[in-house]
């Protein structure tokens, strides 16, 4: 589980790094997969945490 959390943090860090670039240098080809994978990893972490709270 800690590997997923670390990967999620690194992915969101990459998203923030890409967003901090000037708008002309931002790559939409990078942003879509980064945001998608970051959201998926956050969803996995959230589901896991709720399942540990319930069961």
- Give the pLDDT of residue 6: 96
Q: DSSP assignment, residue 25?
A: T
- Give the pLDDT of residue 26: 85
To the nearest 10°, report the CA torsion of 19, 25, 28, 32. Answer: -30
Domain containing residue 7: 2-54
Domain count along the chain: 1
pTM: 0.85
CA dist., res. 12 & res. 7, Å (int): 9
Per-residue pLDDT of the chain (55 residues; tens, 9 = 90+): 899 999 999 999 999 999 999 988 888 899 999 999 999 999 999 999 999 999 7
């Amino acid at each position: 589980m800690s590997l997923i959390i670390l990967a999620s943090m690194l992915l969101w860090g990459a998203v923030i790094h890409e967003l901090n670039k000037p708008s002309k240098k931002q790559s939409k080809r990078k942003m879509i997969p980064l945001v998608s994978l970051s959201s998926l990893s956050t969803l996995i972490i959230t589901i896991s945490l709720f399942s540990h709270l319930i069961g």
